[in-house]
Amino acid sequence: MKVSVQAVAVWGKIAPSHSITAIMITDDQQTIVTGSQEGQICLWDLSSELKISSKEIIFGHTASVTCLAKARE
């Protein structure tokens, strides 16, 4: 059974910095994934009009994210 859990990030008036060090796009070309020098992974929605909007930010890495890879089911 597959369980999906949504991450929620809360911060003040200024979002954390995100200096992109790695980037990947999903096979369906609807989500961009970025890794950062600060150790975060961000998910971005990509619309058919090529508009990008933030979706989720994942914290927890203690070093830069320099490589991204997709897992297979």
pLDDT in tens, 10-54: 566 666 677 889 999 998 899 999 999 989 899 988 888 888 888
| Length of the chain (residues) | 73
Model pTM above 0.85: no
For residues 16-41, b (16+ Cβ closer than 10 Å) or e, as one string?
eebeebbeeeeeeeeebbbbbeebbb
Of the candidates 25, 23, 30, the one whose C-alpha atom is nearest the C-alpha of residue 68 is 23
Residue 4: pLDDT band (50, 70, 90) is: low
Given a cut of 60, whether residue 6 has pLDDT beyond it is no
Predicted pLDDT at 30: 92
Nearest-angstrom CA–CA distance, 72 and 49:
28
pLDDT above 60 (res 8): no
